[in-house]
């Protein structure tokens, strides 16, 4: 009887350690995808691409988390803008944002949906130099996403709306990102 008790305690402890290892307090996320320009930006640019690096802090017991993101988005000028400027080029937006996250409860499933919102600094630049110099302004973002735990990989997919300004016009875009968590 005593051996069964100790064996049961050992199995419970091993299972608890394994569950804690899967629930990381700090994670690193790397991803990329497409960026869809909106508003003034869509009048001069085509759909572009993005790269994202994230430092994610969360707990297993609380749904709230904190996340720092470094992102780069690049949009090629459309043909009308290239004709008007007599040159080809692109506009880019680099950002550093701090976001609060709220994880929606989904116990026992391989997905973990979340919503996020945050503020940050956005640096907008253009490849042509003159007439579109680099400027840095504050902006905000909101989005939805989910972490996926399938096939032994920790991954995520998300879509966000970013809003800032540059040279008197609004810079708005939707990056759709797919990435891996480490």
Digit-coded pLDDT (tens) for 136-177: 999 999 999 999 998 889 999 999 999 999 888 899 999 999
- Contact (CB, 8 A) for 175 and 34: yes
Is residue 91 within 8 A of residue 107, CB to CB? The reply is: no
Residue 141 tokens read as: 């973002």
The CATH fold of domain 24-181: Porin (2.40.160)
Residue 19 has pLDDT above 70, yes or no: no
Q: In the prediction, which pLDDT does 11 show?
A: 46
Of 7-11, 35-39, 45-49, 76-80, the one with minimum mean pLDDT is: 7-11
The DSSP 8-state label assigned to residue 120 in this structure reads E
Q: What is the pTM of this model?
A: 0.84
Q: Give dist(CA 75, CA 123) in Å, integer.
A: 14
Q: Where are the domains of the chain?
A: 24-181
């Amino acid at each position: 009887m005593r051996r069964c008790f100790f064996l049961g305690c050992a199995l419970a402890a091993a299972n608890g350690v394994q569950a804690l290892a899967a629930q990381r307090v700090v994670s690193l996320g790397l991803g990329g995808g497409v960026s869809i320009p909106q508003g003034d930006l869509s009048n001069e640019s085509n759909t572009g691409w993005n790269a994202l690096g994230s430092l994610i802090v969360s707990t297993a017991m609380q749904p709230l988390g904190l996340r720092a993101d470094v992102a780069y988005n690049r949009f090629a000028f459309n043909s009308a803008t290239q004709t008007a400027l007599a040159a080809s080029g692109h506009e880019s937006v680099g950002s550093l944002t701090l976001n609060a996250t709220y994880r929606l409860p989904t116990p026992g499933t391989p997905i973990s949906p979340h919503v996020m919102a945050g503020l940050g600094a956005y640096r907008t630049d253009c490849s042509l130099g003159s007439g579109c110099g680099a400027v840095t302004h504050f902006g905000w973002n909101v989005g939805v996403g989910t972490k996926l735990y399938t096939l032994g990989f920790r991954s995520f997919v998300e879509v966000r709306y970013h809003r800032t300004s540059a040279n008197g016009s609004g810079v708005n875009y939707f990056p759709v990102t797919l990435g891996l968590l480490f």
